[in-house]
Amino acid sequence: MPVFKGQIMDKLKKAKLGIGSYSYFFSSTGEGRFKLVNYGFTNNNPWTIEKFVDRAVDLGVRYVQLADNYALDELSDAELIKSGQYAKNNGVILESGMRGIMPDQFEKYIKLSQLLGVEKLRCVIDNGDFKPSIEDASSIINEMIPELKKSNIILGVENHDRITTEEFAKIMNNTASSYVGMIIDTVNSFSTMEPTVKIMETLSPFAVELHIKDYTIERRKDAQGLVIKGTVAGEGMLDIPYVIEMMKKNARSDFSTILEFWMEPEKSLELSIIKENEWVEKSLAYLKSII
């Protein structure tokens, strides 16, 4: 039976824009996190959560995701509660994030997420040598669902690295809970040689969040291979209107849409921070024009 435009529009979900610690990687990554020193930089004054909240308000977005490059686990209980209340008072919704779903890590981040008052905990399954099978990952997540439910926190599993989109779909079917969903990153699955269309077709029915990360693919100067580079949203090769449309049609509910970058640093931390802020402002201007 044909579906008319008006019928489709009635069912569309809303994309709600946000920023995160991967929007402001150089501003928010402290010493010892992701070895920022490898760039020759040391950030002794990473952003506080309050700074993130203030920036979100200034930019006119409602969501802030504090992912695994941000040192949430180094904050005290009192600091987490205070920061969570500050966000609430300013109408900003916080999300937390961790790397690795080891049970002890899981328990720690559910607790700090409760203190912070978040509605969603983002996770990357692997961490270093910890690379569980699909069955083991499913089992670990299933064991934590009662705690997620008790805390009223949704676990967002991000597509990442070695795991294919079909395997992520299997994890979603194995867990089958309203407290577990996919966070779709638009380019992470390039690591398994899967294009954006495959990512969206396979995973958008499980989606609770979208990470917008635009890119270009360029041939090396010596012509020996190709290089994927991050860019300002709307200036690269990612078909962002298509991605948003697929999410609006297929996602489980209204979804936060977090801006992220693969940004090459400048010669200094200070210049890199200026550059990422320019990228955020340009990207959000574009995203607001199409959402």
Tens-digit pLDDT profile for residues 135-180 = 999 999 999 999 999 999 999 999 998 999 999 999 999 999 999 9
Span 72-129, pLDDT tens digits? 999 999 999 999 999 999 999 999 999 999 999 999 999 999 999 999 999 999 999 9
pLDDT band at 38 (very low <50, low <70, confident <90, very high): confident
pLDDT band at 32 (very low <50, low <70, confident <90, very high): low
Q: How far, in Å, CA of 261 to CA of 19, rounded?
A: 11
pLDDT over 80 (residue 41): yes
pLDDT band at 7 (very low <50, low <70, confident <90, very high): very low
pLDDT band at 63 (very low <50, low <70, confident <90, very high): very high
Q: Which pLDDT belongs to residue 9?
A: 41
Residue 4, Cα to own-chain centre: how many angstroms?
Answer: 33
Q: Which pLDDT belongs to residue 39?
A: 82
Q: Which pLDDT belongs to residue 30?
A: 82
Amino acid sitting at position 254: D
Residue 250, Cα to own-chain centre: how many angstroms?
Answer: 18
Positions of E strands within the chain: 15-20, 63-66, 93-99, 120-124, 154-158, 180-185, 207-212, 215-219, 226-230, 255-259
pLDDT over 70 (residue 1): no
pLDDT over 90 (residue 233): yes
Smallest CA-to-CA distance from 23 within 76, 59, 50 is with 59
Q: How far, in Å, CA of 22 to CA of 24, rounded?
A: 5
Q: Which pLDDT belongs to residue 36?
A: 77
Bridge partners of residue 291, in order along the sequence: none
pLDDT over 60 (residue 10): no
Percent of the chain with pLDDT over 70: 95
Token duo for residue 145: 């669902």
Mean pLDDT of all residues in the chain?
Answer: 93
Using CA atoms in the order 30, 35, 38, 40, what is the torsion angle rounded to 10 degrees? 20
Could you give the domains of the chain? Answer: 5-290 (3.20.20.150)
- Containing 18, the helix (H) or strand (E) segment is strand 15-20
Span 248-282, pLDDT tens digits? 999 999 999 999 999 999 999 999 999 999 999 99
pLDDT over 90 (residue 5): no
pLDDT over 50 (residue 3): no
Please report, for residues 131, 253, 256, the alpha-carbon distance to residue 156 in angstroms, rounded to integers and kept in the order given.
Answer: 18, 13, 11
User: Coil, strand, or helix at residue 123?
Assistant: strand
Out of 41-50, 169-178, 204-213, which region has the weakest mean confidence (pLDDT)? 41-50
